[in-house]
Structure 1
Amino acid sequence: MSAPLPGRPVRGSASGRPVMALLDLLGRRWALRVLWELAQQPPPTFRELQRRCDGISSSVLADRLAELTEARIVDRAETGYRLTEEGAELCKDVMRLERWANRWAERGSPETAG
């Protein structure tokens, strides 16, 4: 299995535009949860990461870690896995989405609005 990377054709884009590669990578099952857990400290071992990601199979976790490693977002630490500098920067940007989602939730759902 090969990770979606800029310059390679990906789902939804034959051009390999960087944003399309990133959306393909982050849109894969469990990818965002794995990143979320890796953003926590200290870097988890494989088993600890699997425990934190309730319900993820070991094969899916291994696939996501391999893809995120190939994309240079994750690497192996002495005691487990960690975000690279690029991965940490990506997580900061993803956290902006969390802030937006929280504001969205505070405004209420369409069923409760006006």
Structure 2
Amino acid sequence: MKMKSHCPINYSLEHFGDRWSLLIIRDLMFNGKRHYNEFLESAEKISTSVLGDRLKQLEEADIINKGKDEVKKSRIKYSLTRKGINMLPIMLELVCWSGKYDSESDINDDFLTQANNEREKLIQSTTEKLENEHLMN
């Protein structure tokens, strides 16, 4: 991937800095979604062309990878890579920021409390879970 600049913010944005990429990462990280059709079912209603493009970009950036589904061999299963899992603190920060400023946020209150008050513990437990689900398969 050719970078426009190596400013740290630009580097991050070039990898995952659009709405749809972050929502795909959210679905993989927090909602257990692993298949193309599951991403299409998200409330934000991503189009098929945008979804295909973002999945390709995330794969090229080594944030996700794709493989065969163990149950249905003809189906592709998406997983977070180590680089993708390492985005967990960023994603939690977005959750906390939204929980603070969005009065209609549909976030689970217990999760938000844990993200705000026991962040390191939450990062550790969630990282272990994601590693088991995404890196071991």
TM-score normalised over the length of structure 2: 0.58
Q: CA deviation at 1:43?
A: 4.6
Q: Name the aligned partner's letter for residue 3 of structure 2.
A: R
Q: Which runs of 5+ in 2 are unaligned?
A: 70-76, 104-137
Q: Name the aligned partner's letter for residue 100 of structure 1.
A: W
Identify the residue that residue 97 of structure 1 maps to in structure 2.
94
Q: CA deviation at 1:98?
A: 1.4
Q: Which runs of 5+ in 1 are unaligned?
A: 10-14, 107-114
Distance 1:43 1:104 in 2: 27
Give 2:3's match in structure 1, choosing from 4, 8, 11: 8
Distance 1:53 1:61 in 2: 14
Give 1:34's match in structure 2, choosing from 14, 24, 42: 24
Superposition RMSD on alpha carbons, in Å?
A: 2.3
Question: Contact (CA 8 Å) 2:26, 2:91: kept in 1 or not?
Answer: no
Matched, 1:65 2:87: no
Q: CA deviation at 1:41?
A: 5.5
Q: CA deviation at 1:66?
A: 0.5
Q: CA deviation at 1:47?
A: 1.1
Q: Name the aligned partner's letter for residue 26 of structure 2.
A: W
Identity fraction in percent? 28
Count of aligned pairs: 96
Return closer, same or farther for 1:71/1:54 CA change in 2, 3 Å cut-off: same
